[in-house]
Amino acid sequence: MTNGSVAAGPALAVVLVALLAFAGVVVWLGGLGSWRAVVIAGVRAAVQLAAVSLVIAAILRSGWYTAGFVLLMFGVAAATSARRIGAPRDVPWTALAIGGGVAPVLGLVLASGVVPLRPVAVVPVAGIVIGGAMTATSQAARRAVDELRTRHGEYEAALALGLEQRPAALLICRPSAGHALVPALDQTRTVGLVTLPGAYVGVLLGGASPVQAGVTQLLVLIGLLAAEAVAVLVAVQLVAARRLHADW
């Protein structure tokens, strides 16, 4: 390590390969799924980060390039969430759910000046918020669809009692879909006691003081809670209205 950063070199490559192989073996022996998916995910991460590392310097020199890169991240997030939900054609609706969470959070932190309008600050914050909203959207929609399929008889009973389709669907799926917020809530509750999340570690390794790192991490955590709460709300409403994954 130099100045607190991870040292790149042969030792790092060996450690990464060992960790990825270990994860694959655990998944294989434990019957937890496909070990190939673990390996492919790790290789993809390495390739994608290498590509980003090569172009990020050019992107950060231009505000327009930065805006384009953020839009690219958003588009990939919407497509990934749609595939994860099992509705690859519903990208516009997953984009609506993710954007519903991301837009107010980024708008507030940038307009207030809390996060400076500099590419080097905008890109990581936008990436974290978009990623959190994407995960929350995927989890909430999948939970909602699964619940509606499993408890379809209760949904039909609610219709028979006179409820409209959307309120009847929400009655069934909203409580379980709300569980998509549990990871963000747990991370926020235990920060500093159980975990030191990525933003804190990154800012600290970048040479900032522990206080600056803590303030940055707090902003990220609260921003994620807000973005994910809106994303979950919109996703559940879209599922109940048969706009997102209409074939439940």
Instruction: Give tens-digit pLDDT for 106-148.
Output: 999 999 998 888 888 888 899 999 999 999 999 999 999 999 9
Whole-prediction pTM value?
0.79
Determine the pLDDT at residue 21.
Answer: 93
Residues 6+ apart with CB under 8 A from 4: 204, 205, 207
Among the ranges given (46-60, 112-126, 149-163, 233-247), the one the predictor scored with the smallest mean pLDDT: 46-60
* Higher per-residue pLDDT: 202 or 83: 83
- Flag whether pLDDT at 2 surpasses 80: no
Determine the pLDDT at residue 121.
Answer: 84
Determine the pLDDT at residue 119.
Answer: 85
Per-residue pLDDT reduced to its tens digit, 10-23: 888 899 999 999 99
**C-alpha to C-alpha distance for 193 and 93, rounded to whole angstroms:** 37
